[in-house]
């Protein structure tokens, strides 16, 4: 039986764990406190036993400060385990490209996420499949939810482009990587665009007014850092090497699918922003 150990059962990793468990895998995971049937990260004896038993190990834990906590605590047993290794990284390792396309051959570590780039490199050095992810959306965590709850805004920065990916496309990408060679893989949809366009589309689907425009200066430091970078992410390598294809290659497909699962009936599109749907 295939046995997966997941470090960090967060939003994305838990969805992957559930998918593989449904396919007959034995899946265990860690959290900080061991709640919900998981293993406490600092239960060293139990974690080491699971590392030794695992056929596959995946980490979704981001750096803390300048260090990767998983490698800081368990690098040696992971390195000697001999099974498949994976790491959920970020396309933030590429830094700002001025809106240009970027692929896995690009240098890393020049942006605001130096610790993430270092962790990315450390996992690759161990022979892991490193999946670099842009903005993640999915059930319960999407522009639809933010618009519906009144938490969405626009920033009015034309030409500020980002990539994104549906959580289920991450799951299918990592699953494809279970039989693929070690290395880095971008997992992103085919339609990078500015965030305001996505927010407007979500509002249109819900038949709600456009969220307000706010200044970048009024945002949190983390959000300002997000808007300080501008890039388009290519996923051609994952398609070519892993045979992966996103189910939602365009945010419109993804948001429409999410809306269909939460709306009891189709809603009318606000006339003022209906043109967004035609882009």
Domain coordinates in residue numbering, the chain = 83-278
Inform me whether the pLDDT recorded for 250 exceeds 50: yes
More confident of the two residues 277 and 159: 159
Say which DSSP state 274 is in. G
Inform me whether the pLDDT recorded for 264 exceeds 60: no
Could you tell me if 256 and 249 are in contact, meaning their C-beta atoms sit under 8 angstroms apart? no
Report CA dihedral (44, 49, 54, 60) to the nearest 10 degrees. -10
**Over residues 36-59, mean pLDDT:** 96
**Over residues 33-57, mean pLDDT:** 95
Query: Given this model, what pLDDT does residue 278 score?
Result: 33
**Over residues 224-251, mean pLDDT:** 94
What six digits make up the tokens of 155?
Answer: 């920033």
Query: Given this model, what pLDDT does residue 36 score?
Result: 82
Each residue's pLDDT tens digit, 94-107? 999 999 999 999 99
Inform me whether the pLDDT recorded for 227 exceeds 90: no
CATH number of the domain at 83-278, please?
3.40.50.720
The set of long-range contacts for 243-246, using a CB threshold of 8 Å and a minimum separation of 24, is 243/176, 244/172, 244/173, 244/176, 244/177, 244/187, 246/165, 246/166, 246/169, 246/172, 246/173, 246/187, 246/189, 246/190
Inform me whether the pLDDT recorded for 221 exceeds 70: yes
- Residue 272: pLDDT band (50, 70, 90) is very low
How far is residue 121's CA from residue 235's CA, in Å, rounded to a whole number? 19
Inform me whether the pLDDT recorded for 277 exceeds 50: no
* Beta-bridge mates of residue 137: 166
> In sequence order, what E strands does the chain have?
3-7, 26-31, 39-40, 56-59, 84-90, 101-102, 129-133, 135-137, 164-166, 183-186, 232-233
**Over residues 178-197, mean pLDDT:** 96
How far is residue 14's CA from residue 18's CA, in Å, rounded to a whole number? 6
Query: Given this model, what pLDDT does residue 270 score?
Result: 31
**Over residues 184-212, mean pLDDT:** 97
Mean pLDDT over all residues of the chain? 91
More confident of the two residues 271 and 59: 59
Query: Given this model, what pLDDT does residue 111 score?
Result: 66
What six digits make up the tokens of 251?
Answer: 């945010």
pTM to 2 decimal places: 0.91
Could you tell me if 164 and 211 are in contact, meaning their C-beta atoms sit under 8 angstroms apart? no
Closest alpha carbon to 227 in 164, 162, 163, 166: 162
Percent of the chain with pLDDT over 90: 81
- Residue 237: pLDDT band (50, 70, 90) is very high
Query: Given this model, what pLDDT does residue 261 score?
Result: 87
Could you tell me if 132 and 187 are in contact, meaning their C-beta atoms sit under 8 angstroms apart? yes
- Residue 206: pLDDT band (50, 70, 90) is very high
Inform me whether the pLDDT recorded for 85 exceeds 60: yes
Inform me whether the pLDDT recorded for 207 exceeds 80: yes
Each residue's pLDDT tens digit, 125-134? 999 999 999 9
More confident of the two residues 136 and 114: 136
How far is residue 216's CA from residue 213's CA, in Å, rounded to a whole number? 9
Q: φ and ψ at 266, to 5 degrees? A: -60, 145
Cα 17 to chain centroid, rounded: 15
């Amino acid at each position: 039986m295939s046995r997966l150990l997941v470090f960090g059962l967060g939003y994305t990793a838990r969805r992957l764990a559930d998918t593989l468990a449904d396919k007959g895998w034995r899946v265990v995971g860690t959290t900080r406190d061991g709640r919900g049937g998981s293993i406490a990260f600092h239960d060293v004896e139990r974690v080491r036993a699971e590392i030794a038993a695992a056929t596959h190990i995946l980490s979704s834990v981001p750096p803390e400060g300048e260090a990767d906590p998983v490698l800081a605590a368990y690098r040696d047993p992971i390195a000697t385990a001999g099974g498949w290794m994976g790491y959920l990284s970020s396309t933030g390792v590429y830094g700002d490209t001025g809106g240009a396309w970027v692929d896995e051959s690009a240098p890393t570590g020049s942006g605001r996420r130096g610790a993430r780039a270092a962790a990315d490199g450390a996992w690759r050095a161990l022979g892991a499949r490193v999946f670099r992810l842009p903005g993640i959306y999915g059930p319960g965590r999407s522009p639809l939810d933010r618009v519906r709850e009144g938490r969405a805004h626009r920033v009015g920065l034309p030409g500020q482009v980002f990539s994104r990916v549906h959580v289920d496309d991450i799951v299918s990408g990592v699953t494809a990587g279970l039989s693929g060679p070690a290395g880095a893989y971008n997992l992103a949809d085919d339609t990078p665009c500015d965030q305001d366009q996505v927010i407007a589309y979500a509002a249109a689907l819900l038949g709600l007014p456009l969220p307000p425009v706010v200044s970048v200066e009024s945002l949190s430091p983390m959000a300002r850092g997000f808007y300080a970078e501008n890039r388009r992410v290519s996923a051609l390598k994952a398609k070519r090497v892993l045979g992966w294809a996103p189910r939602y290659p365009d945010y419109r497909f993804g948001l429409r699918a999410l809306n269909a699962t939460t709306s009891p009936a189709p809603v009318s599109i606000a006339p003022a922003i209906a043109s967004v749907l035609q882009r």
